[in-house]
Structure 1
Amino acid sequence: MLRSEVRKASISVNEIYPSIQGEGLLVGTPSLFIRLQGCNLRCPWCDQPSALTFRETSIDLKDLIREVEKYPHKHVVITGGEPFTEESLPLLVEELIRRDKSLQIETNCTLWQDAMEELAPQIHITCSPKAVAGWFVHPKIRRYAKELKFVVDQELSLDVLLNFSDFLQREVVVLQPEGNKKVFLQKALEMQLRLLEMGYQVKVIPQVHKFLGLK
């Protein structure tokens, strides 16, 4: 990457904050979250509505990197919104890798950027398929994702999960009850048992940070 590209690049950021990773296979990891602005989907239960709309305002990438370096966290989570809508995502990822950061991208799986091809193997990509997108997962995301995280709501069915047998066989599927609601926790546990009877092991993991009163 040319340094001039970084100097000229800007990126639309909703917020940046330290916490723990409260979801998925890396739960409990101390993390610095970079929430990018703008999403191509509109899930009815989205808990970050402020990050949905696309804004014309942005900050210089070099200023964002400078802000990241103020924190001691080794693990950085790029979330949204939808990170793959951000044109400068590959530049951000490359800059963080150069600084020896452990990187995770949380995505709705529908989009891809070719500039991410060489970078993707170095990232923990968490793919969360969505009902509003017909559970579509871009082939490149499917190739590089390290885990599938399904929000268990009224839409999710066992048939949907069985369409991802490759991930089920790798035991990297997480069922996350929507809003930590008891009814969806029960549904997740029932799905877990059904899959176990079929020879597949999945994890049921609620949003742990919410139980701890963290962001």
Structure 2
Amino acid sequence: MLRGEVRRKTALKVSEIYPSLQGEGLLVGTPSVFVRLQGCNLRCPWCDQPESLHPGGGALMSVEDVIGKVREYPHRHVVITGGEPFTQSFLTLLVEELLKEGFSVQIETNGTLWQKGMDTLASHIHITLSPKGVASWFVHPKVLLYARELKWVVDHLLTLDIILMPSFRRFLEEERVVLQPEGNKEIFLQKALSLQEELLSLGYRVRVLPQLHKLLGLK
């Protein structure tokens, strides 16, 4: 089957596609097009995108359609988020085609899932890992291997012992850890700052970053 035909004969469940700036993590401030995919395998109580959780929502779009929509904007960085992107069977094809089109690609994931075809692409993209307490902080080994940053949502469940778990240690050593106060709430900001101090006393430097887009009144 020809490449163009493959791109057309696919089906992604898409919640929305829109331009904004990356408001979270190490790439904060980057002008981006967000491709929000529909459906998630987890149910975090504080999820700020509940409308994107259920697989029955969203609109069916082919990879060709998604790329066509992304091309409408001048941004060259694409953030694939959700929901949980790895629940979509054609995620790998979407990433591959976006890279061929010259876009830089970022995937935001809870880390519990993986797709075999992503192994050859992972070193060319920015994977943001955000482990979740509702999954008992489980992360797929391939996500741990390829993720470029670890973003902790600081809520009532997160503790210093969790951050220091051996499976997450390399992110601390590489200074690729972000503490993000849940919902930009004052109580969790103070907790994030306290965790930052404790980690600093242990020799680890981490960043405390709120959700910038919310502070700026952006989507």
- The TM-score with structure 2 as length reference comes to 0.96
Structure 1 residues 102-137: Cα deviation after superposition (integer angstroms, max 9, x where no partner): 110000000000010101110100000000000111
Partner of 1:41: 42
How far apart, CA to CA, are the structure 2 residues paired with 1:2 and 1:197?
Answer: 57
1:67-82 map, 5 Å: 67-82=69-84
**Given residue 26 of structure 1, which amino acid in structure 2 is its aligned partner?**
L
- Pair 1:101 & 2:65 matched: no
Aligned to 1:184: 188
Query: What is the identity, as a one-letter code, of the residue corresponding to 1:134?
Result: S
Question: Shift in Å at residue 166 of structure 1?
Answer: 1.1
Q: Which runs of structure 2 are paired with 1:149-160 in the superposition (5 Å)?
A: 149-160=151-162
1:205 alignment partner AA: L
- Alignment equivalent of 1:131, drawn from 111, 133, 157: 133
| 50-59 or 197-206, which deviates more | 50-59
Q: Could you list the per-position Cα deviations for residues 50-86 of structure 1 after superposition, in whole angstroms to 9, with x for gaps in the alignment?
A: 0000027512221111111111101000000000000
Please list the CA deviations of residues 129-158 of structure 1 after superposition, one character each: whole Å capped at 9, or x if unmatched: 000000111100000000000000000000
Please say if residues 177 and 207 of structure 2, whose CA atoms lie closer than 8 Å, have aligned partners that are also in contact.
yes
Q: How many pairs does the alignment contain?
A: 215
Could you list the runs of 5+ residues in structure 2 that have no partner in the other structure?
none
Structure 1 vs Structure 2 CA RMSD: 1.1
1:8-53 C-alpha deviation (Å, 9 max, x unpaired): 1111100000000000000000000000000000000000000000
Residue in structure 2 matched with residue 114 of structure 1 by the alignment: 116
**Structure 1: stretches of 5+ with no match in the other structure:** none
Does 1:210 pair with 2:211?
no
Contact 2:8 2:65 in 1 (8 A): no
Distance 1:113 1:156 in 2: 27
- Secondary structure in 1 aligned to 2:143? helix
Q: 1:2 to 1:109 in 2, by over 3 A?
A: farther
Provide the rounded CA distance (Å) in 1 between the counterparts of 2:62 and 2:29. 30
- The residue aligned with 2:143 is 141
Structure 1 window deviating more from structure 2 (59-68 vs 163-172): it is 59-68
Establish whether residue 172 from structure 1 lines up as the match of residue 173 from structure 2.
no
